[in-house]
Structure formats: structure tokens, C-alpha cells
Amino acid sequence: MFIVMFEFVPKTGKEAVFLRAWPKVTQGIYLFHGSLGSRLHKDEEGRWIAYAQWPDKATWEQAAANSMSEDYEQQRMQMHDALNLEATRILYKMDVACDYLQRRPFALDSYQPLASCAVSSLVVVNEEWPWNIRSGMTSGKKVR
């Protein structure tokens, strides 16, 4: 498993736009680029730090070659426009040496834009979600 840690720096007055777009962009990267998902954190000094998991370094390196659906691309552009790109940066690229995080399916049906990122909240996993993590295929249900 391969990990990439980012520091996201929203432009002044654009934090809410960033927080609304981040979950949807992360879902798109999961669905279309092969990531295993990501977590967004806010540290004690107010910095936005994201921890993104990938099956391996090669998948991460090839991700930019894959396009996402129009909806996800629109969200990506909103997030991009909300960020100070000169200050936003990759902090670390790492191989996992020891893994004891619990895994569960990514729940698209429980997506809640700003509320799920602005405050701590419990996300209920929908066990019938159509994504098959191992094969990378959907069950045929329409993905948002």
C-alpha cells in the first residue's frame, strides 16, 4: 500500500468551497483513479492535512491519466479554484511498513457535503454499495 499526505491551503474566504468539494473529489478519485480513499484532518494550528491511500505507487502515478465523470471534474475544478496552489503541497509519499487500520467499503450513499467535513460525524456504511474494491467494478447501479 502507498500513502500520500497533502497539506491543502484554501484561499482566504474559500474554505467552505474547499470543504464542499473535497468529499466529492475524493469519491471521484476513488471511483475513477483507483485510490483506496482519503481522510481530511484539521490540525491544532488550522492546517488541512489529507491522508490518501493507494493500492501501490504505480496506481498513484498513473491516476492522472484517467479522467473522471463531468460532475466529479466540476467538483475538482471548484476545489482547485478554492486552493492557494503555491502553498498547497505534498508532505510525504510513503510505503506502508505496518498496517493496522480497519477497512470498510466507501459509502457514497451517505455523502453529506459540508457537514461531514466541518465537524466530526459518524458515517454509516451502506453494505449494498455497488463498488467492488478488489475488482474495481460496479454492480451496474448509476454512480453519482
- Each residue of 42-83: pLDDT tens digit? 999 999 999 999 999 999 999 988 889 999 999 999 999 999
Residues sharing a CB contact under 8 Å with residue 61, sequence separation 6 or more, in sequence order: none
Q: How far is CA 44 from CA 13, 41, 47, 48, 49, in A?
A: 20, 10, 7, 10, 11
Alpha helices in 14-111 (DSSP H): 15-33, 57-62, 70-82
Q: How far apart are CA 114 and CA 91, in angstroms?
A: 25
For residue 11, what pLDDT is reported?
A: 98
Q: How far apart are CA 31 and CA 130, in angstroms?
A: 11
> Domain map of the chain by residue range?
2-104
Across the chain, what does the average pLDDT equal? 80
Cell matching residue 81: 479554484
CATH of domain 2-104: 3.30.70.100
- Each residue of 20-38: pLDDT tens digit? 999 999 999 999 999 999 9
For residue 105, what pLDDT is reported?
A: 67
- Each residue of 78-135: pLDDT tens digit? 999 999 999 999 999 999 998 887 777 656 655 544 444 543 332 333 333 333 333 3
